[in-house]
Amino acid sequence: MIPNLHFPLFFAGTAFLSWTVLRLALWWQFSPPDTGAADTLKLLLAGLHIDLVWALISSAVLIGLSAFFTTLFAAVPVLVLRLFGIQAWKPVWKVLFRIAITVGCTAGVFLVISEWFFFDEFDSRFNTVAIDYLIYPHEVFTNLRESYPLPLIVSACLLGGVGISLLGFRKCAPTWEDQSFGTKMKFIGLYALTCLLAHQSIFSSETAFSRQRVVNQLADNGWASAAYAAWTRNLDYKAFYRTMDRRKAFLRARSVLAEPGTAFPHPEPPALPAEPMSPEAESAWLKSARDSLVREVAGDPAKPKRNLCIIAEESFGSEFWGCLGRDVDGKAHTLTPRMDALAAQEGLLFTHILADGNRTIRGLEAIFSSIPPLPGDSILARDKSENVETIARVLKRDGYNTEFLYAGRGTFDFISNYVTHNGWDRLIEESDFEDPVFRTAWGVSDEDLLRRGIEEMRALHATGKPFLTSFLTVSNHRPFTYPAGRIPEDPNAHNREHAVKYADWALGDFFDRARKEPFWNDTIFVVIADHGARVYGRQTIPLKSYQIPWLVVAPDLIITPQRNNTPGCQLDVIPTLLGLIDRPYRSLFFGHDLLKEGGGERDRSLLNHNRSIAVYHHQREIVLGLNKTVEYWYGDAGSVFMKRIEDVDDEFKDIRDDGVALFEVADDLYTHRWYRLDNGALF
């Protein structure tokens, strides 16, 4: 027998037995009444196979992590013992290893128990919601304490973990210290290879054989589904959120997305094939459904190809801008004097714009891809974002050069992957700044980023081709550091308001420099926040904290300062800017051109906060939550006192159904990789 094989196999067998009992209990309690014998047999056989594979993997994870943390924590006491000439380091390692295994077994018992409660609440194995629970431990612990018999659960976990660990060491004690280093490495390599090969035997069809989602979930394994969720960050939209007939959703989305100056070159989606559809039939239908949403946006091909410069400002909420109503104790007080002056003297200021979320990557997907903020994670953090529509793709099809400048590391928030695969020719990131004036914890300062941008735009202009230059700043972010001498306030105070003032100063400096450049008159400049500073308010998605500024400076187009009060959101940035350029293009975007007549009547602001999504229109906010819940709120987006509504009118229901359709369609297109155009032609 291979040395020590009995030790990992004991824990693999324990996991396999526990999961089998759990599956049988879940099947007994939650299996749909009309589940046939064939589906029951399939779910049990698939479950046995998947459980066996993941039992092997789980035992490797348990022992591997236990050995790692034991070595880590044993380093200091072993070193001390050796310094004093005490040769008792092996017992120290053994004791710590036993403790680590016991902790791991206790955690395993807890996961088995918690999976029962999770399935009871969501009719699902672990998914990204469960992953999020790890991010919010305080809220989760409070919920557990108030909702479940926590002392009993903790006691059961401790007893189970200690009991399994004791039995494992008593019956199958490892003898690794008796083996040579080479023997240990061979064993580890062989076991790892076995786990890898076993995992390759699992096929996705094993948990997708039934038309009933719950049956497929019963066939799955909690650890396997959690690992998949952590890797992809996808959430099964149709399983958790309110939906409608698939074809009706596309038809409704087509109606909502229509606007003056656009035409649909393709017909409405065909009737749905009989279910269950084969993958080939579903793909063909989805392509037709996607084509039905493609719009040809009218424009004048003789119009000049104006440059476009989009600056996404970190946490630059409306609450800081004097021109958007900031006050302190009832008196006007601004933190953005440079932007206020620019808006008052020459800019187009949109005054009623909502961020689509409260994270940077939510803002980026909305500003640059005009896609609704799907529940789960931003598309930047998901696994199907290598080919999605962006403004960079649209402009490249019209002959533009494209560049993205980010003050931080490109790997952070998956920005590099999104940018380099979706139309931008080049990404300039923190490592490309050789001698910056100042570095924050997140990257180079705003002035470093924006001054480098001037240099890049000058070089792009010299090529004779139009360009898109995109920016993402980082200075207005905790710990709120910036170079001294730019503003009167002391940077050592680490104060948010001071960081906002510095961000405003850096933007003012950028515009002062840009005015002197040859590309100034040919460029449309945009300043827009990625999201507000923080989330506050009573509502599930508090709209007041989602209000952000959006300022456009176009020297050759906007001759006199303007304020546009049309309600909108970040999804509307691309269509509005392309409308300013006024050249024809094809669109799959979900936003509207706010400068077209009647823009406020068409707009639907789509929003996200944690696992809730919402649509806002005509002072009506409809929040769609997990388990297909719906909330209705009424009030102005600028108020912190929106009212919860129970008896809703037809307009509420109509807006709700618009939101349901738009989110469902966006999820369908993204998850099936159809949020893109097929060719490079403008038409």
Q: At what angle do helices 222-232 and 89-122 cross, to 10 degrees?
A: 90
Q: Which two tokens stand for residue 540?
A: 């599930």
Q: Which of 69-78, 248-257, 328-337 has the highest mean pLDDT?
A: 248-257
The answer to whether the CB of 543 falls within 8 A of the CB of 328 is no
User: Once rounded to an integer, what is the mean pLDDT over residues 517-535?
Assistant: 94
Please report which confidence band the pLDDT of residue 681 belongs to, taking 50, 70 and 90 as the band edges: very low
Please, how many CA atoms are within 13 Å of residue 663, restricted to the half-sphere of its CB?
35
pLDDT band at 67 (very low <50, low <70, confident <90, very high): confident
Assigned superfamily of 305-596: Alkaline Phosphatase, subunit A (3.40.720.10)
In the prediction, which pLDDT does 313 show?
Answer: 97
Which residues lie below 8 Å from residue 415, measured CB to CB, with a gap of 6+? 361, 364, 380, 406, 408, 427, 472
Q: Which helix (H) or strand (E) holds 631?
A: strand 629-634
Instruction: Give the model's pLDDT for residue 127.
Output: 77
Beta strand 401-406 pairing with 426-428: parallel
Split at pLDDT 50, 70, 90, the class of 290 is: very high
What is the pLDDT at residue 87?
A: 59
Position 193 confidence tier, pLDDT thresholds 50, 70, 90? confident
What confidence score (pLDDT) does residue 143 get?
Answer: 56
Residue with tokens 């700044």: 433
Q: Is residue 178 exposed (0-12), middle (13-18) or buried (19+ Cβ within 10 Å)?
A: exposed
Nearest to 31 by CA among 47, 15, 16: 47
Q: Average pLDDT, whole number, for the chain?
A: 88
- Whether the pLDDT of residue 545 is over 50: the answer is yes
b or e along 456-486 (b: 16 or more beta carbons within 10 Å of the residue's beta carbon)? bbeebbeeeebbbbbbbbbbbbeebbbbeeb
pLDDT of 310 strictly over 80 = yes
Query: Per residue in 448-504, pLDDT tens?
Result: 999 999 999 999 999 999 999 999 999 998 889 999 999 999 999 999 999 999 999
Q: What is the pLDDT of residue 601?
A: 74
- The residues, ordered by sequence, that sit 6+ positions from 165 with a Cβ below 8 Å of its Cβ are 98, 101, 102, 105
Q: Quick: pLDDT tens for 333-383.
A: 899 999 999 999 999 999 999 999 988 999 999 999 999 999 888 999 888
pLDDT exceeds cutoff 50 at 191:
yes
Which DSSP state fits 399? T
What percent of the chain is modeled with pLDDT above 90?
58
Q: What is the pLDDT of residues 128-138, one digit of tens each?
A: 767 766 655 55
Point out the least confidently predicted range of 281-290, 436-445, 523-532, 593-602: 593-602
In angstroms, rounded to a whole number, what is the distance separating the alpha carbons of residues 410 and 424? Answer: 13
The C-alpha atoms of residue 620 and residue 636 are separated, in whole angstroms, by: 8
Better pLDDT: 314 or 187: 314
Give the torsion through C-alpha atoms of 349, 354, 359, 365, to 10 deg.
-80
Residue 72 binned pLDDT confidence (cut-offs 50, 70, 90) = confident
Per-residue model confidence (pLDDT) at position 226: 81
- Rounded to whole angstroms, the Cα distance separating 676 from 670 reads 9
Phi-psi domain of 81 (left: phi exceeds 0; alpha: psi -120 through 50; beta: other): alpha
Structure confidence at residue 1 (pLDDT) = 35
**What integer pLDDT is reported at residue 64 of this predicted model?**
84
| Length, in residues, of the chain | 683
Is residue 342 a contact partner of residue 562, using CB atoms and an 8 Å limit? no
Higher-confidence residue: 306 or 227? 306
The 10s digit of each residue's pLDDT in 386-408 is: 999 999 999 999 999 999 999 99
Name the residue with higher pLDDT: 370 or 47: 370
User: Rounded CA gap, 413 and 421, in Å?
Assistant: 15
Dist CA 160 CA 158 (whole Å): 5
Q: Which two tokens stand for residue 508?
A: 């003012």
Domain with CATH 3.40.720.10 in the chain: 305-596
